Amino acid sequence: MEKTIINVETGETITRELNAKELAQQEIDTAMFAAKKAEAEAIATAKAAAEGKLAALGLTTNDLRALGL
């Protein structure tokens, strides 16, 4: 895997291979990003399901807030 480095002062672009430590960190970062994305998607799905159940009962999230729930 290659790493591209851009010097913002000169505009110079350098491309080089990642060393073992950088490659391991890249894999960790990728896994953490995927886990956070999956968690966010699960929360969004659960929220949509809960709102669907409320809608089936004729309620909204504002109704629950008004009831103090």
Output the pLDDT for position 4: 86
pLDDT tens, residue by residue, 15-66: 988 889 988 998 999 999 999 999 999 999 999 999 899 889 998 888 888 8
Per-domain boundaries in the chain: 2-66
Digit-coded pLDDT (tens) for 1-12: 888 888 889 999
Q: Please, what's the b/e burial string for 35-48 (b: 16 or more CB within 10 A of its CB; e: otherwise)? A: eeeeeeeeeeeeee
**59: burial class by Cβ within 10 Å (0-12, 13-18, 19+)?**
middle
Phi, psi of 41 (to 5 degrees): -65, -40
